[in-house]
Amino acid sequence: MKELKTSNKASSKVETLKKQESLFARRLIEASLDPLVTISPKGKITDMNLATVNITGLDREKLTGTNFFDYFTEPQKAKEVYQEVFANGSVTNSPLTLRHIDGKLTDVLFNGSVYKDDSGKVLGVVIVARDVTAEKRIATELTEAKIFAELATELAIEAKAKAESATRLAKDAVKAKQQFLSNMSHEIRSPMNAIIGFTKVLLKTDLTAKQKEYLTAIKLSGDALIVLINDILDLAKVDAGKLVFEKIPFRLSMSIDAMLHLFQPKIQEKNLILVKEFDKNIPKILLGDPVRLHQILLNLLSNAVKFTTKGKISVFVRMLHEDPEKVTLEFAVSDTGIGIQKENITKIFENFQQASSNTSRLYGGTGLGLAIVKQLVENQQGEVNVKSNPGEGSTFSFVLDFLKTSEEPEEDPENLDFDKTINSVKVLVAEDIPLNQLLMKTLLDDYGFESEIVGNGKIAVGKLTNNTYDIILMDLQMPELNGFEATEFIRTNLKLNIPIIAITADVTTADLAKCKAVGMNDYISKPIDERLLYTKIIGILKKNKHKGLAKPVAKAKEEVLPAKFINLDYLKKRTKSKPDLMMQMISLYLSQTPPLVKTMKESLSKKDWDALYAAVHKLIPSFMIMGIGTDYENMAKEVQEYARTKKMTIKIKPLVNQIENVLKQSCKELEIELNTLKHNQT
């Protein structure tokens, strides 16, 4: 009996302990924020925690005994997951969506496992559904953000492409405009060259007074037309951003005197008084662009003389400021002419504008002079001012800076006298227009020079293979081979140092810098000034002890390659000197560059311009990354531009060869760098 009581007490303690454990487990289950459900083998809910009640919106009584699958948006999927638990004993992180009674949806990750009795019989399934709605929302937002970012990038790329296209169209429009003006210049100047040239030739012959009067009128009209063309083309250069200002030593006082000398006859003819005031403190020699200064003063003086019938014209040059490096000067041209109405002062600086509608009818002109003055001054960081009273006159002034220099100005060839001691000069002339050919022959005969005339650059090059000449006069726009291409061939392939003077009607492209870039010694514009042409020829031949006889250029010294073509400073900065990333970048360069170089060479030989453009376009970004000099990058861009315009010139092949050599050398250098990086890693 005593043993029975002891046994009952022990059993009672066990039951109490089990109840306590069960109560503790229940509290843990109820404390869980995630829904927890027990389900019978038939799929009926047998128990749940408070989180399940909250997430479904139904109380325990209504949930108990109901079908577990009915509370999901995809009942069949929930059933399959439930069956998977029975089949495998458990399941983890299966995504499902629970539905609240009011329609609210909650994304959950379904985790479940079977539970058994003491004998191992499966009694049901325990399900835990972890609420991942917030996580899923964040993930969705991140995905959307990524999509929007990619879309924004695509839009930015598209916008950039459109902007580049618009820029390209704008540049093409400017080029088209420039080409039109260039062609117009050439087409007008070429016949004007013959008209004015032969007029000058006839004026040297025996003429009656009337004949001389008529020919002089023709010459003056031709000169006026050339001035108009020059004005239009100067404005075109400004619009295209191609107006270049030289910095050469010149004597300012002499320049001013020469300019005033041009107007002396007209001033005397109109019985005007000329006053000149020149600040003696101004340095004798300055560094600047005397040609553009002449052009500014020419327009201002021309207007002053044109619009003044009585009184005086005054020219003032004053020094406003001086320091060890430069001087600031003020130039002023004052007249006692018709003056300008206050409301018209701003208008007179616009293209093709004059002070009033009567001005052009009464005084002539195009209204371009002051527009050119304004552009020339402002493009040298200067400023133009005007003061005027109707009926009393006007004062135009401008301020410019000039650098000081100790250099001596070069002798102006126009000031040279005719030198009859130089004779037996043989001249090769490349000119395609028959009338101009005849004019050039006439002028050269007058100089006492022997001449040979050919119709294009190709024939000129052929003549040089078997003949010697003292100098070449080379027209720029010719069929077969133009003047630039012919000169480049003479210098590069024939290796001749014979002097070459460009003869051009196209002043928009034939600037001295471009002519010198291909090896020309000088240039002269059509219509030809016979004295200027003669003095340029004599000036060049005097500098050449052997009168410019064609001789092979001494072989250039073997090109000394720089110590290294590459500079990895930029790459180190971009990769923060991380060896792995640097090796990856270098390896990528070494793998992609040789095939692109090969494509570049092959596409050039096949004249496949699109393939050439694409290959060079892919190569260019690597120049900066690997620190290859900007000179070579600019060469590649020049090739790219040739390919884009599909313009084959003899210049493109040497550029491609040089780029190939540079890139091959850079690959060798980068292979050494790559091996060094690998060695340091080990």
137 pLDDT above the threshold of 90 = no
CA distances from 596 to 84, 346, 655, 664 (A): 57, 57, 15, 11
pTM of the model: 0.40
What's the average model confidence in pLDDT over 89-116?
83
* Residues ≥6 apart with Cβ < 8 Å to 330: 316, 317, 318, 319, 320, 397, 398, 399
334 pLDDT above the threshold of 90 = yes
The CA distance from 640 to 637, in Å, is 5
The CA distance from 53 to 33, in Å, is 11
Q: What pLDDT is attached to residue 379?
A: 83
pLDDT-based confidence at residue 403 (cuts at 50, 70, 90)? very high
Alpha helices in 327-482 (DSSP H): 357-363, 369-378, 434-447, 457-464
The CA distance from 211 to 203, in Å, is 9
Structure tokens at 210: 């009337």
Q: What pLDDT is attached to residue 231?
A: 61
Q: How many CB atoms lie within 10 A of CB 139?
A: 11
The CA distance from 616 to 168, in Å, is 18
Spatial strand order in the sheet of 122-131: 45-48, 36-39, 122-131, 105-116, 90-99
Please state which CATH number belongs to domain 32-131. Answer: 3.30.450.20
pLDDT-based confidence at residue 453 (cuts at 50, 70, 90)? very high
Taking CA 563 as the corner, what is the angle to CA 557 and CA 568, rounded to the nearest 5 degrees?
145
CA distances from 470 to 348, 523, 548 (A): 50, 16, 5
629 pLDDT above the threshold of 60 = yes
What's the average model confidence in pLDDT over 199-211?
78
Structure tokens at 372: 């050119």
Helices 252-269, 290-306: axis angle to 10 degrees equals 20
Choose from 19-23, 31-35, 76-80 the range with maximum mean pLDDT: 76-80
pLDDT in tens, 283-323: 999 998 887 788 788 888 888 888 888 899 999 999 999 99
The domain segmentation of the chain, as residue ranges, is 1-25, 32-131, 248-336+372-386+393-404, 413-543, 569-681
Rounded percentage of the chain residues whose pLDDT exceeds 90: 9
Question: pLDDT averaged over the chain?
Answer: 77
103 pLDDT above the threshold of 90 = no
Q: What pLDDT is attached to residue 507?
A: 54
Q: Are the C-beta atoms of residues 260 and 274 closer than 8 Å to each other? A: yes
The CA distance from 565 to 559, in Å, is 14
More confident residue, 589 or 547: 589
The CA distance from 444 to 421, in Å, is 16
What's the average model confidence in pLDDT over 485-503?
89
Q: What pLDDT is attached to residue 197?
A: 75
* Residues ≥6 apart with Cβ < 8 Å to 561: 665
The CA distance from 440 to 463, in Å, is 18
Q: Cis ω on the peptide bond leading into residue 562 (within 30° of 0)?
A: no
CA distances from 312 to 275, 298, 334 (A): 7, 17, 8
Helix (H) or strand (E) holding 622: helix 609-625
Q: What pLDDT is attached to residue 581?
A: 78
Q: How many CB atoms lie within 10 A of CB 576?
A: 8
Structure tokens at 354: 């004059």
Q: What pLDDT is attached to residue 357?
A: 42
Is the C-alpha dihedral spanning 470, 476, 479, 485 positive or negative?
A: positive
The string of DSSP codes covering 20-63 is HHHHHHHHHHHH-SS-EEEE-TTSBEEEE-HHHHHHHT--HHHH
pLDDT in tens, 506-536: 555 445 667 778 888 888 877 777 778 888 8
Helices 369-378, 209-239: axis angle to 10 degrees equals 40
What's the average model confidence in pLDDT over 381-390?
87
563 pLDDT above the threshold of 70 = no
The CA distance from 200 to 218, in Å, is 10
558 pLDDT above the threshold of 50 = no
* Residues ≥6 apart with Cβ < 8 Å to 183: 506
Q: How many CB atoms lie within 10 A of CB 298?
A: 17
What's the average model confidence in pLDDT over 195-202?
78
62 pLDDT above the threshold of 80 = yes
What's the average model confidence in pLDDT over 167-192?
68
> For the CA atoms of 614, 615, 618, 621, what is the dihedral angle to 10 degrees?
-120
Fold of 248-336+372-386+393-404: Heat Shock Protein 90 (3.30.565)
Which residues is 450 bridged to in the sheet?
Answer: 426
CA distances from 5 to 14, 91, 188 (A): 14, 47, 136
- Phi and psi angles of residue 321, each rounded to the nearest 5 degrees, phi first: -155, 145
pLDDT-based confidence at residue 561 (cuts at 50, 70, 90)? very low
Alpha helices in 448-548 (DSSP H): 457-464, 483-492, 512-517, 530-543
Which residues is 475 bridged to in the sheet?
Answer: 503
Tell me which of 252-261, 372-381, 416-425 is least confident: 416-425
Answer left, alpha or beta for residue 473, where phi above 0 means left and psi between -120 and 50 means alpha: beta
pLDDT in tens, 566-599: 888 877 876 777 888 788 888 888 888 898 899 8
What's the average model confidence in pLDDT over 60-73?
85
Topology agreement, domain 248-336+372-386+393-404 and domain 569-681: no
359 pLDDT above the threshold of 50 = no
AA letter at 629? G
Helix (H) or strand (E) holding 128: strand 122-131
Radius of gyration of the chain (CA): 45
Please state which CATH number belongs to domain 413-543. Answer: 3.40.50.2300
429 pLDDT above the threshold of 90 = yes
366 pLDDT above the threshold of 50 = no
Counting Cβ atoms within 10 Å, is residue 136 exposed (0-12), middle (13-18) or buried (19+)? middle
Tell me which of 201-210, 416-425, 564-573 is least confident: 416-425
pLDDT-based confidence at residue 473 (cuts at 50, 70, 90)? very high
> For the CA atoms of 167, 172, 173, 175, what is the dihedral angle to 10 degrees?
130
pLDDT-based confidence at residue 14 (cuts at 50, 70, 90)? low
Q: Are the C-beta atoms of residues 91 and 1 closer than 8 Å to each other? A: no
The CA distance from 591 to 102, in Å, is 62
Query: 């062609």: which residue's tokens?
Result: 183
Is the C-alpha dihedral spanning 304, 305, 308, 313 positive or negative?
A: positive
More confident residue, 597 or 341: 597
Q: What pLDDT is attached to residue 365?
A: 43
Q: Could you give the 3-state DSSP secondary structure of residue 562?
A: coil
Rounded percentage of the chain residues whose pLDDT exceeds 70: 77
Tell me which of 89-98, 247-256, 353-362 is least confident: 353-362
HSE-up (13 A, CA, CB side) for residue 25: 8
Counting Cβ atoms within 10 Å, is residue 37 exposed (0-12), middle (13-18) or buried (19+)? buried
605 pLDDT above the threshold of 80 = yes
Q: Are the C-beta atoms of residues 385 and 398 closer than 8 Å to each other? A: yes
More confident residue, 619 or 234: 619
More confident residue, 559 or 17: 17
Q: Could you give the 3-state DSSP secondary structure of residue 100?
A: coil
Fold of 569-681: Four Helix Bundle (Hemerythrin (Met), subunit A) (1.20.120)
Per residue, the 3-state secondary structure of 387-406, as one string, reads EEECCCEEEEEEEEEEEECC
